[in-house]
Amino acid sequence: MLENNIDIRDITAVNPILCTIPFNQVLVDELGNVNLCCGSHIKNMSPVAGNLFSEDAKRIWNNEVYKTFRQSFTDGSLRYCNEKSCSALANKQSPEARLLLHTLEEIRCDEHLSKSNYSSFSDSPDTFDGTLTGMPTRLYLGIDPSCNLKCPSCRDALFIDKSGTERLDTLYGNLRSITPGIEFLELDGSGDVFASKWYNKFLRDFPVSDFPNLKEIKFRSNAVLWNRKNWYRIHPTFRAKKIHACISIDAATESTYEVVRGDSFQTLMENMYFVRELLENGELESISIVMIYRKSNYHEIPVFIQLGKELKADTIIINPLQAWAQSAYSINGTFEDEAIHHPSHPEHHRLKQLIDENNIRYGNDGDTFIDFAW
């Protein structure tokens, strides 16, 4: 059993408010850890509920860590969630903004919510001990860091796991107890699925009977290997699901792409037109494209938005560079040198001017949603 240093205090119960993540979702990282939520969102305990290299997912789902965490929502304290990094919690008082959080009344009045895993609590709140009778419905995998690129915002060396598929076969073996309940699957938040030896096999031989309820998939990729040949290698049952493409690009021109990605912009664009063709043919449900902006590429934000519209992206995500522990951060220098969104950065005023002149805002822009954050 995992040791989790949980800080337990006397709690005065207030009104329950439940978050969909610990009641419906499982997030698995490249170490095989099952995480309660994003690590930076959790405080007073470790975000890790268990590890799939040594434990079965079904056992982890109702272990003491998960039960204790869920009870922090039913007693209304939310004492393990960090309001400084979780926007749902920061907006707890605003029902329109706290999309992940639901009161007992909201759950009971909503057919979908009342039939979800929330029912283990809402049907018998007085006896709820954190155990759920239902299994998770959403699975987020970030399990293989193998990638064909080494972007400076992410890593400083190329990594392709050549050690074979045994390690991830073991992890997947311990996941299979929950896959029958999964309706939504996201892969792979850690590397690129087309560069991964394990995913190549998993997608080609997709284990259809392990996922009888799968309806939707979010496919994360840099698209440099998302060509016709690689796409049609994927099992037809997998491709027949509702597939959302989330493609990280970071640039809108060849010269900047070379700097921030170090690969061929021409190959990328050929593949992006193929991805757009899949959308037009109905083989994809949606496209979103992502730019992590910093000093090296922020000047292309307006052109990036135009590119997204040309590619028929319904969502364009433009977010600032984050300080990851394993990142190389910058082309020349340090994270601080690239972090142009910081008001103290010497070029911050130029970013601000560009944003104002081009009226770049968070929200709908015609048919496109711009997820822009400072």
Q: Least CB distance from residue 61 to ligand SF4, whole Å?
A: 15
Using the rule CB under 6 A, which residue among 16, 21, 186, 279 binds ligand SF4?
21
Burial of 91 (0-12, 13-18, 19+ CB in 10 A): middle
Indicate whether 34 belongs to the interface with ligand SF4 (CB under 6 A). no
Q: What share of the chain is helix, strand, coil (3-state, %, to 5)?
A: 35, 15, 50
Indicate whether 107 belongs to the interface with ligand SF4 (CB under 6 A). no
Q: What secondary structure letter does DSSP report for 41? A: G
Query: Nearest 5°: CA angle at 27, between 137 and 216?
Result: 40
Using the rule CB under 6 A, which residue among 37, 52, 57, 292 binds ligand SF4?
37
Q: Least CB distance from residue 8 to ligand SF4, whole Å?
A: 17
Q: Least CB distance from residue 184 to ligand SF4, whole Å?
A: 16
Of 80-88, 122-130, 295-303, 319-327, the window that binds ligand SF4 (rule: CB under 6 A) is 80-88
What is the identity of the amino acid at 325?
A
Indicate whether 26 belongs to the interface with ligand SF4 (CB under 6 A). no
Q: Helices 197-204 and 166-175 meet at what angle, rounded to 10? A: 50
Indicate whether 86 belongs to the interface with ligand SF4 (CB under 6 A). yes
Q: Based on CB atoms, which residue is closest to ligand SF4, 101 or 193?
A: 101
Using the rule CB under 6 A, which residue among 27, 33, 41, 307 binds ligand SF4?
41
Name the token pair of 301: 């934000």
Q: Least CB distance from residue 23 to ligand SF4, whole Å?
A: 9
Indicate whether 18 belongs to the interface with ligand SF4 (CB under 6 A). no
Using the rule CB under 6 A, which residue among 27, 88, 291, 316 binds ligand SF4?
88
- Map 42-93 to HEC letters: ECCCCCEEEECCCCCHHHHHCCHHHHHHHHHHHCCCCCCECCCCCHHHHCCC
How far is it, in rounded angstroms, from Cα 153 to Cα 326? Answer: 9
Residue 18: CB partners within 8 Å, gap ≥ 6? Answer: 73, 74, 101, 102, 103, 104, 107, 118, 121
Q: Least CB distance from residue 105 to ligand SF4, whole Å?
A: 18
How far is it, in rounded angstroms, from Cα 343 to Cα 368? Answer: 28
Strand runs (DSSP E) across 251-334, as ranges? 286-293, 315-320
Number of residues forming the site for ligand SF4 (CB under 6 A): 11
Of 18-26, 136-144, 156-164, 283-291, the window that binds ligand SF4 (rule: CB under 6 A) is 18-26
Instruction: Report the site for ligand SF4 in 148-207 (rule: CB under 6 A).
Output: none
Indicate whether 307 belongs to the interface with ligand SF4 (CB under 6 A). no
Q: Based on CB atoms, which residue is closest to ligand SF4, 98 or 244?
A: 98
What is the identity of the amino acid at 217?
I
Structure-token match 């920061």, residue found: 90
Q: Least CB distance from residue 39 to ligand SF4, whole Å?
A: 10
Using the rule CB under 6 A, which residue among 57, 60, 81, 245 binds ligand SF4?
81
Q: Based on CB atoms, which residue is closest to ligand SF4, 21 or 175?
A: 21
Binding residues for ligand SF4 (CB under 6 A): 19, 21-22, 37, 41, 81, 86, 88-89, 100-101
